[in-house]
Amino acid sequence: MSINLSLDRIRKIQEYLPKYSRPTCHIAGTNGKGSVSALLTSIFQAADPPLSVGRFNSPHLVSICDCITIDNQPVSLDIYTKARTKVVEADTTHGLQSSNFEILTMTALAILEEAQVDVAVIEVGLGGRLDATNGIFDDRILASALTSVDLDHQSFLGNTVAAIAREKAAIARKGKPFILGAQRHPEVYDVVKEVVPSNGGELVQASVAHSRDRNSKERDASPLTLTTLRPEMFPGPPGQPVEIQIPVFSEPLSLVLPLQGQHQLENLGTALSMFSAIMTHPSCAEFSKHFRQRFTSENVQSGVARVKWPGRLSFHKIPVPLNTISDENKGDLLVLADGAHNPASSETLGAYSRPIVDPGSDKQRRTCSRTSHHINTLSPLLPPKIRQQYPNIQIDVNVGLLRFTSPDGMPWVKSVPPSELREVVASLDPDATTWIPTTEDDPNGQLAEGIEWAYKRQRGQDGVLGEGLVVVAGSLYLVADLYRLLGTAGW
């Protein structure tokens, strides 16, 4: 599939549709932009009285409607269909031949405009400079932000981190704050310091959130260990106690962050810095004049504490077997679902899951389901690194390799054949037990079959359910299949 990146069509189609006028937060990045958008949404909603918040993320998770939310709820199919029909009519009438993503972007903007939301949070689709979301006019942008930049989509954005950063930083707008989140590659800072001023933007380095000790009012919980991984006893991971200073408040904020993983502290810093800039920067004075008085530090604390972002280090208890109503051999599986799909996000997932191994335990059973075919993406999730860290622990690793179903409206998105992945796993960990579905080409039913297999592996030959964790990762589309299987949107 070819993608013709250009702003020509998105700018043209806006001439034939109602003018988009919502104050907008615009977020680019390789990893973390969805988490930042969820945090911002939750913070804005915590105002007193609450702001109405529209959000556009891509890709969608379970259904096409959930990529467009108002007050954190997916829009109805009826609202989506009516808006999309008007956009398609405009595109067809004027012979614009807009791409699917351009149509989707304009549908989202039309819905948020019709709803007259107080503020919109818009996630870049691909890159930044030529992404359809960058067709929003400068006067509608409150602030822009850049989350962690890494290698991904190189065929469209460039083969180096610096080249990719250049594309993403180009969403900076004249006279508006541009928040730069924490980066693992130093060259990103150099590129951003060049691109943002050249666009006329004002560079703001994101504040840093630090871990802190829990106070007496907060839940007393230990780090995850195998002793907590039995589904019937697992209470869910505790929130992360953090502290951060942002310019809009005179005192540091003491927060509890529900999102898991050290990287989420960086995303929190970006989100809160964006919020602070919107409330203090002269270019946002009209917005802050109307809404600043609705926010106290307590409101912001509450907003952060209530944030949800499904499919990113999300724990779920799944009743198995899935295909029987009999109580025989029934039990629960503890599943960690994460949309990690590139080397950087897989390393983040690996760093989070490795400490779950308890050095005091005799054995761990860990079953992983993935669909990524790159060695650099799979290696952080497989046991060599864990065995190096805990050489005295017997680790039983089972890897299920399966396809995901193509997402709605995106038939070109395909998964790698499981047989190809089996060779990659064998090269990384010859001791791992691998499984591929009975029918390799048809993705329907593969995840359910894989979960049943994982459950049987955890029960072992003695029929006793061992301690362990099933990790569903490799693609957000596979996580979406999991939520569809469970009949939930993950919220």
Q: How would DSSP label each residue in 162-214?
A: HHHHHHHHTT--TTSEEEE---SSHHHHHHHHHHHHHTT-EEEEPPPPEE---
CB 258 within 8 A of CB 239: yes
Q: What is residue 444's predicted lDDT score, i.e. its pLDDT?
A: 85
277 located within any domain:
yes
Tokens found for residue 219: 């839940």
- Give the C-alpha separation, 285 to 408, whole Å: 40
Statement: residue 11 has pLDDT above 50: yes
Contact call for residues 270 and 147 (beta carbons, < 8 A): yes
Q: Is the previous residue joined to 321 through a cis bond, with omega within 30 degrees of 0?
A: yes
Helical (H) or strand (E) element with 256: strand 253-257
Cβ neighbour number for residue 215 with a 10 Å cutoff: 9
pLDDT at 226: 45
322 with 286, same domain?
Answer: no
Whether residue 251 is contained in a domain is answered as yes
Pick from 157-161, 307-311, 321-325, 414-418: least confident: 321-325
Contact 213, 241 (CB under 8 A): yes
d(CA 179, CA 230): 41
Binning pLDDT at 50, 70 and 90, where does residue 205 land? very high
Element (H, E) at 435: strand 433-435
Dump pLDDT digits (tens) for 183-197.
999 999 999 999 999
For 214-223, write each residue's pLDDT tens digit.
Answer: 876 665 544 4
- Asked if residue 229 has pLDDT above 80, the reply is no
Is residue 23 included in any domain, yes or no?
yes
Both structure tokens of 319: 């009743």
146 near 169, Cβ under 8 Å?
Answer: yes
What is the spatial distance between Cα 185 and Cα 189, in angstroms, rounded to a whole number? 8
What is the Cα–Cα distance from 174 to 423, expressed in whole angstroms?
50
Is 3 inside any structural domain?
no
- How far apart are alpha carbons 143 and 133 in whole angstroms? 14
- pTM (two decimals): 0.88
Structure token digits, residue 39? 């945090």
The rounded distance, in Å, linking the Cα atoms of 266 and 262 is 8
pLDDT of 1 > 50? The answer is no
Q: How confident is the model at residue 383 (pLDDT cuts 50, 70, 90)?
A: low
Q: Which of 60-69, 349-358, 478-487 has the lowest mean pLDDT?
A: 349-358
Within 10 angstroms of residue 217's Cβ, the number of other Cβ atoms is 5
pLDDT tens for each residue of 237-255: 889 999 999 999 999 999 9
Residues 250 and 364 grouped into a single domain: no
Strand order in the sheet with 119-123: 73-74, 68-70, 53-56, 119-123, 24-28, 141-146, 177-180, 202-205
pLDDT at 405: 87
Segment 416-427 shows an average pLDDT of 84
Q: Which domain-ending residue is among 257, 275, 305? A: 305
The residue among 9 and 442 whose pLDDT is bigger is 9
Examine the domain organization and report whether 336 and 299 are in the same domain.
no
434 in the same domain as 295 = no
Structure confidence at residue 48 (pLDDT): 96
- Is residue 333 domain-resident? yes
Helices 297-305 and 33-45 sit at what angle, rounded to 10 degrees?
A: 130
| Domain's final residue, options 242, 270, 305 | 305
State the alpha helices, DSSP H only, in 67-146: 77-93, 100-115
For residues 276 and 291, the answer to whether their CB atoms sit within 8 Å is no
363-377: average pLDDT: 48
Tokens of 308: 């949800």
The verdict on 168 and 296 lying in the same domain is yes
Q: Report which of residues 157 and 30 the model is more confident about.
A: 30
Residues 278 and 334 in one domain: no
- Mean pLDDT, rounded, of the chain: 85
426 phi and psi angles, rounded to 5 deg: -60, -35
Q: What are phi and psi of 181, to 5 degrees?
A: -75, 175
**pLDDT at residue 358 is higher than 60:** no
- Reduced to 3 states (helix: H, G, I; strand: E, B; else coil), residue 5 is coil
Where residue 402 sits, what CATH number does that domain have? 3.90.190.20
Residue 431 domain-assigned (yes or no):
yes
User: Residue 488: phi, psi to the nearest 5?
Assistant: -140, 155
61/68 Cα distance (integer angstroms): 11
What are the structure tokens assigned to 363, written together?
């054995």
- Of residues 10 and 350, more confidently modeled: 10
Domain residue limits at 443:
314-486
Strands 240-244 and 253-257: antiparallel
> Which of residues 249, 281, 305 is at a domain's end?
305
Reference 382, options 372, 397, 393; nearest CA is 397
pLDDT at 103: 97
3-state percent helix, strand, coil for the chain, nearest multiple of 5: 40, 15, 40
**Residue 355 and residue 249 share a domain:** no
In order of 120, 226, 353, 366, 481, the CA distances from 467 in angstroms are 44, 7, 14, 8, 25
Lowest-confidence pick of 73-82, 164-173, 181-190, 330-339:
330-339
In this structure, is residue 1 part of a structural domain? no
Q: Are residues 28 and 112 both part of a single domain?
A: yes
Do 277 and 338 fall into the same domain? no
Q: Which residue has the higher pLDDT, 460 or 126?
A: 126
Distance CA 283, CA 177 (A): 8
Query: What's 29's domain CATH number?
Result: 3.40.1190.10
What is the number of structural domains in the chain? Answer: 2
Per-residue pLDDT at 203: 98
Place of tokens 């949800």: 308
Q: Is the residue at 491 inside a domain?
A: no
Same domain, 140 and 203: yes
What is the helix (H) or strand (E) element at residue 289, kind and residue range? Answer: helix 285-291
Strands 24-28 and 141-146: parallel
d(CA 239, CA 265): 11
Do 241 and 296 have their domain in common?
Answer: yes
Give the residue from 420, 348, 361, 423 showing the smallest Cα distance to 394. Answer: 361
Residues 245 and 334 in one domain: no
As to burial, measured by CB atoms within 10 angstroms (0-12 exposed, 13-18 middle, 19+ buried), residue 360 is: exposed
Q: How many other CB atoms are found less than 10 A from the CB of residue 410?
A: 17
